[in-house]
Structure 1
């Protein structure tokens, strides 16, 4: 890093904001807000440093887990660090020191000062140092959620602030003692910390009054409405661990039925549900009864039954069809099965309530239809985590065991899966990443029954008591083994999809995935096994061993619950995983690369995928969904339908789904135009004008301008001309195969200008709007486009960090024609020049791989013109031309994507400025080009820096 860059960064942060800033170097305040976290900055510094020293008083286990993932990758690069901590206030638990001792590339020291309360983090880079100092200890709350202040400063080795800080750190380390196991053993004996034991916490909780939480209250209110409307069925979708059973009990208590039936598929669940209902509703124990196996308490007011029992003919013969006035079906996604259908056709209660965590069925059964599409409430995993209803998790994706370049895939032999070396590798990872609580209570999911049995034996032989459970085991054995796990007699249950649903083992603090991710639904079900809150469990560790599986691409999609079917979005969330409240998602570099390889081979927007999403949403709504429905219900992004090369418009898609088309050729062409060109919502102007013209036959220019002003949307004469060029199709009058795009869109203006002051739709569209089907689809695209526009800033052309294609940029720059096809890397216009940079070249053999677009100092991209070009070439001279004030005449817009594999879209990074003394002719390949540094005028956010430029 050159000294001039560092000086400007310091001046930018400490003297005047008009000096050029730098994302990595400029002094800044770090807080936990707006999807930014102090931990994000620490992690970025760790990933790029040569060494580090931390001086931090308080450390918690829940932040050591994500730290360990980063340290694994640093260790492979030979990068070490030091951490100085303390026993101040006896805050740090003995287990924290035990876990710190596992960090093989970190030396841990214990400060001698009895009141040591420092919070500072220093990182050594190649030619500068970064310091982060403030109020934040290395705890989950401080790193991810508390309102903390931390100042990030950068210095050279000669800076006095660095010298003072480094000198103080060296003094502290010199006067500290090295952490050892002997010290930890002694600390355990003397550790005094007021805390509630697990037993007393549990007892106190059991005695406290159970009341609905915030989300349960909202669900109950919606159920009240449905009941008040005299509807007889409702469905509640509630993520695993969010108190689904208690919610049902609250609903029944409010309804006050004369006789109630609870139906589920396992006796164990029925018994636990009965206990929960007793706590909520109260009353004599005689009011509650079981209908399962040998027990037939049919006279009780509240009856809890297995489906296997209540669906028997001999039981139904005893019970009149109107015997119950309220029936609740738990795990309602099973209700399409014959046994459930049998009772649903027989019984005639006043009200049916279905409850499930996973309404989306892999067998395409319509669960929503069974409850008359009355979706009362939906509590999804992310909502539940953000509302503190579940235990936070730390997901760690690690590479599965590899030997001689071979790792696990779908066809791996059992002998390899249970080989001693692989078992040792797995156990070493489980030990390294650890768990929350005094003992491990682990649930391991593997792929085969024989694998489960052999792994259980291998775990046990290695000193980690484990038992296998498969669908061959009786209910009695399942209950016995679960009890052993709860009581700490065994450490692990190893199973094959047995505990995907229905089972409640709140003590589970480690979930281990040793199998291919078959579906997002199953992934979330298995993840959810560890998310129930439990005394002494602050978080659950989720370890996913990632092999060479074709379905690896499902992992980021499942974790973030992103159903958009966008490959670009999945890659972005994999490279820079989001923090969900205080839950973290982490991948080692090798595991991340395996998932990226999987994403490169899959087509998320295939017709098969879209058909599944369509059917799911149709089932949910009970009607044919429109694009707006996909937007509102978080399913497929509407953009996917517009960008899919096999679909011209949504009517074509509906035809493929078996729906009849009522559009003529021209109507289809018009629908294709607004879908392909306007639906993305990047510019609202055309959509607003079409919306106005749909409501009124004629719209004056002044009314249109007034509408834009009221909506605070920018406009000028050039933009207005551009809108006209788009809507009269002249912008698209360029060759696209044998015809022009304009001809493919119908060939005549969509909007006509009358008397130079008024706009109107052409006569064919006016007539077409009388066709209900065309009107519906026309309006759907316009309104969906306006909804999507809410993601953009409408006071200027481009929005920071949104993605644009070359074609989008041509339109938003108000150019008369779509010249995106021959544009390639840039085009020098009259006033503006967009520059498209692919930062990381996929292949050195590619022509443009010879253009090294390096982010040289964190703020300037080295960029090259086409070749052959010279300083005196016309387009270069236009780029370098300045006005009388010394400002460049041509405005540069920078668009960057990480690699060619990341689709057609480029992230907008703002305007750029040519660094005058960096311009020179260079040989690129065998020809001459002009290279120059283009300086970003808007400092990069940490997330975008990581997404585009970090390795």
Structure 2
């Protein structure tokens, strides 16, 4: 099919009749922020176009930041664009115009047109132009959150639509002038920010709980009403935990209250916040710190250093306070805090922290009786607009002579003048919100911090270095100078991770290796506090050849699943958290992906660590379902680990006393390895029912399948028993393995129209509590995971399957995955497995060049030697010419062998009869038959990026 025919069919498919072949990029469609975002579509078009012209009325500086990342990559390819905008209604700020001027491959024109209010995005490709026209301006809200509608259409060079677009753009160009620094200066002199309409009366605003604080207060009330003496609130930095504490104390109305923290500055500030909420007289509030020892006020705010002094504690009654709040509660394992907790006996202890998961393995959860009253994680806080949105930019660190910054780079290279110039150039390019930089720079060494501060200052960017050798007074002075605008940057080494409040920060700069997700989030969180006039914070991460680069996407996405494939997707695809964006330059992305490939995310060391963290949180032995519900390690990771037969095996490895018989282990291994992934729920539903009832009828099972939304037919019922009787695994190559792993008797017996478990399993469930617990857990976890799949069909579009999964889900009687290789033509169905990027030309499958022809078809080849007359080929082609194929084709694709055994399901496909021909492939000119496979569902943009974009 020619390019022209492809475009023609795509346009007819979208505007005339769906019977014409569509195309994921070319078919006319509506684009919005429901399934993905408008920015996803614009970014995808940008990365594939030859040039572009945008005609957009309103633009905000916060959306220019992610645009710059894409434009920097396009600049390396020599691709340029034009942006036509205006000063209509004064919406566009001078700062936004200044940021546009920093993009060298973007020509900005100012249209002198009255009432300029258009929103059009035009992208030129080799033989066609794509246009997006509709309601969305280039603003963060419009492209990421608002309900907006954009019509995306494609036009060829000879089309009337493209001619109209070209003429209109040319008319606008003639009525426009280039954006210059001089114009911006003049514009800024008279510019006034547009007035924002506000509701309510003027005057002091009453402080009331927000939505998430109300939920937390309710959970705290539930906790105390149950008689609990302790509780822990986990609240991301900047989410208002101080006010939450004040609301909680006001509601509890204690006789005498104590607040404890590690710094006087925080204690003083917190006291004022509590007074604003509780609204009592000044005499009700007192400070215990240094020379302040007045214990008479009702509400006391103390530093732990003062209060924990042994002589002072001895003078205070253990019953003195009936409500004690420990701020930064992750510190409670320290001796000073322990002295307080061992001495005082309040009615309730409340702990508040942003980071309860400690790197030192201290059990913070246990010290609050494992009572997690409420948890506000970073992603939740961002989605609920409790924090300032951020734009994370991962850029490649400085490179010279092919050498990139790494963990072992010497100091003289870290502070080389060329690297410092490069860093400052990037900081200026990606910018910040506001008129002046207020940045916090994290680097790796104290000497580096001092030298960077000297060079920053010499380059006109006043900076100061702070280390743990500096006094608290000097630190406070530096913060004050930054807030006053005397400094642009504070450069430090992990000093400001927590406990320091600089709301005006508008840039976070990471010039060091990421070695901890906790520390990464602490440092990111420094810039997320709300501040007047601060619409966003820019986070610029300089990514070198670091071993731990893989931690960056894990930290940004709060991903603790240890799922390698999910981590790859988080780097490959643009990510948004609410209206915050995560952006990697192409080179930075490659460095992170290389780190992921070298890292074993599911190593036993990592699984043990995650297990103990969750155990601390729960105060008991975690089960697989706990990992799933608490967003920790994916249960699939445990199931796929080759060192673990089942979760009981893992528990023994971490020192738990689990005594299982050989057969109990085999049954658990079967449920874990074959069923827990949830890709077909039928077996799990049946096993769940049989655990509860001794036997069930075939009709009862069918009714349960229907109620769970599962498809049902005779082939499925036969397959179900083949699997649960273990006959499915009875192939010559796998017989011995099956007996060793799963035992040699059916798990389920079907006789006289009824299903029942075998007697050994029934007895084990009655007699062995460990087996009962692990067996039920595996089934419940599998049923929970099955919700990720459309159980009404054999396969779910764009989910992943391996060859064994496909054999089972196609209801085949035997697992013939081992000899299947690229495809298997069965009587009615044929699964086809394609590895798109061949890793080695020497590999057998490398001769098959499965090229993506367009968004809906792949060129595919049979194995060799095959001819048009071959029986296998004839079965494939039966009925194709008549439009009534006898064999249903299922297409499964993965990017490369490096990603493992899992293939994405792209749906069913049909053979284009005109494309079928016999060909000679490879050096040895082996005969094969090539054909175009046309997908029923045009490929989504997401799948296209994951599978086919280099």
Range into which the TM-score falls when normalised by the shorter chain: over 0.9
Greater displacement, 818-827 / 716-725: 818-827
TM-score by length of 2: 0.98
Shift of 1:649: 0.4
Greater displacement, 736-745 / 828-837: 736-745
The 5-angstrom pairing of residues 62-101 of structure 1 reads: 62-101=62-101
Aligned mates of 2:46, 2:602 — CA distance in 1: 36
Aligned mates of 1:898, 1:268 — CA distance in 2: 54
Shift of 1:815: 0.8
Q: What residue in structure 1 maps to residue 828 of structure 2? A: 831
1:892 aligns to what SS in structure 2? strand
1:616-665 deviations in whole A, cap 9, x for unaligned? 11111111011111111110111111100000001111111111122110
Shift of 1:929: 1.8
Q: What residue in structure 1 maps to residue 490 of structure 2? A: 493
What is the aligned counterpart of 1:922 among 919, 933, 936? 919
Q: What residue in structure 2 maps to residue 17 of structure 1? A: 18
Residue 894 of structure 2 corresponds to residue 897 of structure 1 = yes
The gaps in structure 2 that reach 5 residues or longer are none
1:42-94 deviations in whole A, cap 9, x for unaligned? 00000000000000011100110000000000000000110000111111001
Shift of 1:338: 1.5
Aligned mates of 2:499, 2:580 — CA distance in 1: 23
Residue 41 of structure 2 corresponds to residue 41 of structure 1 = yes
In structure 2, the CA distance between the partners of 1:299 and 1:196, relative to structure 1 (3 Å rule), is farther
Q: What residue in structure 2 maps to residue 947 of structure 1? A: 946
Q: What residue in structure 2 maps to residue 418 of structure 1? A: 415
Q: What residue in structure 2 maps to residue 646 of structure 1? A: 643
1:833 aligns to what SS in structure 2? strand
Shift of 1:841: 2.1
2:677 aligns to what SS in structure 1? coil
The 5-angstrom pairing of residues 124-523 of structure 1 reads: 124-195=124-195, 207-523=204-520
Shift of 1:355: 0.4
Residue 113 of structure 2 corresponds to residue 113 of structure 1 = yes
Shift of 1:38: 0.7
What is the aligned counterpart of 1:762 among 752, 758, 767? 758
Q: What residue in structure 1 maps to residue 629 of structure 2? A: 632
Aligned mates of 1:477, 1:290 — CA distance in 2: 23
Aligned mates of 2:227, 2:49 — CA distance in 1: 65
Q: What residue in structure 1 maps to residue 797 of structure 2? A: 800
Greater displacement, 204-213 / 102-111: 204-213
1:200-220 deviations in whole A, cap 9, x for unaligned? x9xx99931111000000000
Q: What residue in structure 2 maps to residue 566 of structure 1? A: 563
1:663-715 deviations in whole A, cap 9, x for unaligned? 11001101100110000000011011111111111111111111112222111
1:812-865 deviations in whole A, cap 9, x for unaligned? 001111111111111111111111111122233333222211111221111111
Shift of 1:297: 2.5
1:496-520 deviations in whole A, cap 9, x for unaligned? 1111111111111110000111111
Shift of 1:196: 8.2
Check whether the contact 2:365–2:371 (CA below 8 A) recurs between aligned residues.
yes
Aligned mates of 2:266, 2:870 — CA distance in 1: 78
Shift of 1:330: 0.7
Aligned mates of 1:808, 1:595 — CA distance in 2: 30
Shift of 1:174: 2.0
Shift of 1:192: 3.3
Shift of 1:299: 2.0
Check whether the contact 1:730–1:742 (CA below 8 A) recurs between aligned residues.
no
What is the aligned counterpart of 2:852 among 840, 843, 855? 855
Residue 933 of structure 2 corresponds to residue 934 of structure 1 = yes
Aligned mates of 2:399, 2:295 — CA distance in 1: 58
2:324 aligns to what SS in structure 1? strand
2:673 aligns to what SS in structure 1? helix
Greater displacement, 667-676 / 266-275: 266-275
Aligned mates of 2:523, 2:353 — CA distance in 1: 15
1:130-173 deviations in whole A, cap 9, x for unaligned? 00001111111111111111100001100100110111101111
1:865-890 deviations in whole A, cap 9, x for unaligned? 11222222221111111179531111
Q: What residue in structure 1 maps to residue 665 of structure 2? A: 668
Check whether the contact 1:733–1:742 (CA below 8 A) recurs between aligned residues.
no
The gaps in structure 1 that reach 5 residues or longer are none
Shift of 1:306: 1.5
What is the aligned counterpart of 1:616 among 599, 613, 617? 613
Check whether the contact 1:75–1:105 (CA below 8 A) recurs between aligned residues.
yes
2:565 aligns to what SS in structure 1? helix
In structure 2, the CA distance between the partners of 1:529 and 1:736, relative to structure 1 (3 Å rule), is farther
2:919 aligns to what SS in structure 1? strand
Check whether the contact 1:729–1:742 (CA below 8 A) recurs between aligned residues.
no
1:710-744 deviations in whole A, cap 9, x for unaligned? 22211100111000000000011125578132442
1:888-911 deviations in whole A, cap 9, x for unaligned? 111111111112111211111100
Q: How big is the alpha-carbon RMSD for the aligned residues of Structure 1 and Structure 2?
A: 1.5
2:576 aligns to what SS in structure 1? coil
1:275-329 deviations in whole A, cap 9, x for unaligned? 2111111212222222122222222221111211111112212211111111111
Aligned mates of 1:441, 1:249 — CA distance in 2: 30
Aligned mates of 2:731, 2:615 — CA distance in 1: 39
1:329 aligns to what SS in structure 2? strand
Shift of 1:337: 1.4
Check whether the contact 1:235–1:376 (CA below 8 A) recurs between aligned residues.
yes
Shift of 1:420: 0.6
Check whether the contact 1:21–1:939 (CA below 8 A) recurs between aligned residues.
yes
2:450 aligns to what SS in structure 1? helix
2:852 aligns to what SS in structure 1? coil
Shift of 1:350: 1.1
2:853 aligns to what SS in structure 1? coil
In structure 2, the CA distance between the partners of 1:609 and 1:442, relative to structure 1 (3 Å rule), is same
Aligned mates of 1:643, 1:529 — CA distance in 2: 38
Aligned mates of 1:455, 1:206 — CA distance in 2: 45
1:461-506 deviations in whole A, cap 9, x for unaligned? 0000011111111111111111111111100111111111111111
Shift of 1:104: 0.3
Check whether the contact 2:289–2:302 (CA below 8 A) recurs between aligned residues.
yes
Check whether the contact 1:511–1:540 (CA below 8 A) recurs between aligned residues.
yes
Aligned mates of 1:138, 1:556 — CA distance in 2: 26
Check whether the contact 1:735–1:741 (CA below 8 A) recurs between aligned residues.
no
Q: What residue in structure 2 maps to residue 698 of structure 1? A: 695
Check whether the contact 1:733–1:740 (CA below 8 A) recurs between aligned residues.
no
Check whether the contact 1:456–1:466 (CA below 8 A) recurs between aligned residues.
yes
Aligned mates of 1:818, 1:577 — CA distance in 2: 38
Greater displacement, 640-649 / 435-444: 435-444
Check whether the contact 2:123–2:129 (CA below 8 A) recurs between aligned residues.
yes
Q: What residue in structure 2 maps to residue 656 of structure 1? A: 653
1:740 aligns to what SS in structure 2? helix
Check whether the contact 2:60–2:92 (CA below 8 A) recurs between aligned residues.
yes
Shift of 1:923: 2.2
Shift of 1:590: 0.2
Aligned mates of 1:932, 1:557 — CA distance in 2: 41
